Amino acid sequence: MSAVELHHQASGAEGAPVLVLYGSLGTTLAMWEPLAPLLSERLRLVRVDGRGHGRSPEPPGPYAIEDLGQDVLALLDRLGLDRVAFAGLSIGGMVGQWLGIDAPDRVSSLVLMCTGSFLGDAGFDDRARTVRAAGSVEPLADTVIARWLTPGFAERRPEVRDWLRAMLVASPAEGYAASCEAIAGMDFRADRIRITAPTLVVSGAQDPSIPPEHQAELAGAIPGARLETLDPAAHLASVERPDEVAQLILDHVLGA
């Protein structure tokens, strides 16, 4: 499948190191809004809508993680960026693994958040069927949102929960379903040892979507990788704990 032209937004310090931010399944580049102001004074940010999400093209599925990674490489080429730092959460972290394995010359460092290398039979094919049958992500919305935020945070910040839910249900149905199939078909367990970019793995202690053992295994398999666990935090750790995540990213990217 040929690369698509990803919708993106660039912001932050001109001439600073470039950090590409790639979000989770069912979000747009807006998911980084809590984090962006904390990073933009010292980094040049390129936030993307993944294939089938937000304002990026929605070709028919199925997709593979390789397709999503090739989209990122095509964007870097269009922007004239030879080598960048890359941070991804959930499916974004899967794209980051592919880049680290298959395009090591294009990534200076990696931040892999709330992600894994192989999820097995985690119900993603069922999700794809449900969304295609309904023509909408709505039937999954409440279940998904309950995994994105810890209950305490969702109760304290209902406006954040509502903002994320609106973003999720606005997701293009085919793009969401085909991205579910990409996750279902992913297995980087044999290849992640080839990642040479300095890698930070971030885990949410209360993440029910991709539980912490996945990040522990990932960090243990990538040579030299470091694991940081945020507690409390669920799947969207960057939304729930933006100050801590921003500091981890800055220390890692600028240190690398």
β-sheet with 107-113: strand ranges across: 8-12, 44-48, 18-22, 84-89, 107-113, 199-204, 226-230
Domain ranges of the chain: 8-255
Among residues 94, 159, 98, the alpha carbon closest in space to that of 124 is found at 94
pLDDT score of 1: 73
For the stretch 108-144, pLDDT in tens is: 999 999 999 999 878 999 999 999 999 999 999 999 9
DSSP state of 122: S
pLDDT score of 105: 98
CATH number assigned to the domain covering 8-255 = 3.40.50.1820
If one counts every other C-beta atom within 10 angstroms of the C-beta of residue 95, the result is 29
Among residues 252, 238, 247, 251, the alpha carbon closest in space to that of 47 is found at 238
DSSP state of 206: T
Q: What is the dihedral of CA 187, 235, 10, 75, to 10 degrees?
A: 10
Q: Locate tokens 């290398």: which residue?
A: 117
For the stretch 141-178, pLDDT in tens is: 999 999 999 999 999 999 999 999 999 999 999 999 99
Compute the distance between CA of residue 62 and CA of residue 109 in angstroms, rounded to an integer.
Answer: 29
Compute the distance between CA of residue 227 and CA of residue 113 in angstroms, rounded to an integer.
Answer: 10
Spatial contact of 155 and 184, defined as CB atoms under 8 Å apart: no
Distances in Å between the alpha carbon of 190 and those of 97, 195, 217, 224? 12, 11, 12, 17
| Number of alpha helices (DSSP H) and beta strands (DSSP E) in the chain | 11, 7
The residue ranges of the chain whose pLDDT is under 70 are none
pLDDT score of 53: 98
Query: CA 100, 101, 103: angle at the middle one, nearest 5?
Result: 70
Dig out the tokens for 106 from the structure.
Answer: 């294009």
If one counts every other C-beta atom within 10 angstroms of the C-beta of residue 180, the result is 28
Beta partners for residue 229, in sequence order: 203
- 176 — phi, psi (to 5°)? -65, -50
pLDDT score of 121: 78
